Amino acid sequence: MRQKIEAAGARIVENSLLARIARLVLKSPNVAMVFGKQIHLSGVSTETFLEDTYWVEHELCHIEQYRSHGTLRFLGLYLLESFRKGYYENRFEVEARRLGRERALAAGKAPQREETGKKV
């Protein structure tokens, strides 16, 4: 999975303050979140994150979304969608969950942490 992240031009930021704030808001024991081409982690090590194909693919989908829309436009669209529909029903999260699941299954890996409930 590390090679896929590198191929996407992304890098991992472990013990990220941004991800820690998100973790507190979401009341989650661990968080991975994307800002541009960086995957920010809190409450999880890089090694543990990389072992979860679904989770990595979910975050790589967000990197693709940033690339497709541009950083500022994506952030605006994402925040507006979250405000209107909440985190779980946000179309960008729905797409990332779907692609994460599809890509994990295609790689022969069952999703280990697929989100099942609404948050915030």
pLDDT band at 110 (very low <50, low <70, confident <90, very high): confident
114 versus 105: the higher-pLDDT residue is: 105
Q: Is residue 118 part of a domain?
A: no
Q: What angle is formed at CA 28 by the lines to CA 50 and CA 94, rounded to 5 degrees?
A: 70
Could you give the number of structural domains in the chain?
Answer: 1
Residue type, 91: R
Question: Is 66 a member of any domain?
Answer: yes
How confident is the model over 30-42, as a mean pLDDT?
Answer: 97
Strands 11-13 and 38-42: parallel
pLDDT band at residue 109 using 50, 70 and 90 as cut-offs = confident
Structural domain containing residue 27? 2-106
Q: Is residue 75 part of a domain?
A: yes
- Is residue 13 situated within a structural domain? yes
* Any domain includes 15: yes
Residue 73 lies inside a defined structural domain of this protein:
yes
- What is residue 70's predicted lDDT score, i.e. its pLDDT? 97
Judged against a pLDDT cut of 60, whether residue 107 lies above it is answered with yes
Q: Residue 114 domain-assigned?
A: no
Interval 27-37 mean pLDDT: 95
**Segment 37-64, tens digit of pLDDT:** 999 999 999 999 999 999 999 999 999 9
What stretch of H or E contains 6?
helix 2-7
**Average pLDDT of the residues in 88-98:** 97
Quick check: 69 and 81 in contact, CB under 8 A? no
| Cβ contact 58:104 at 8 Å | no
Q: Is 12 inside any structural domain? A: yes
pTM of the model: 0.89
pLDDT band at residue 24 using 50, 70 and 90 as cut-offs: very high
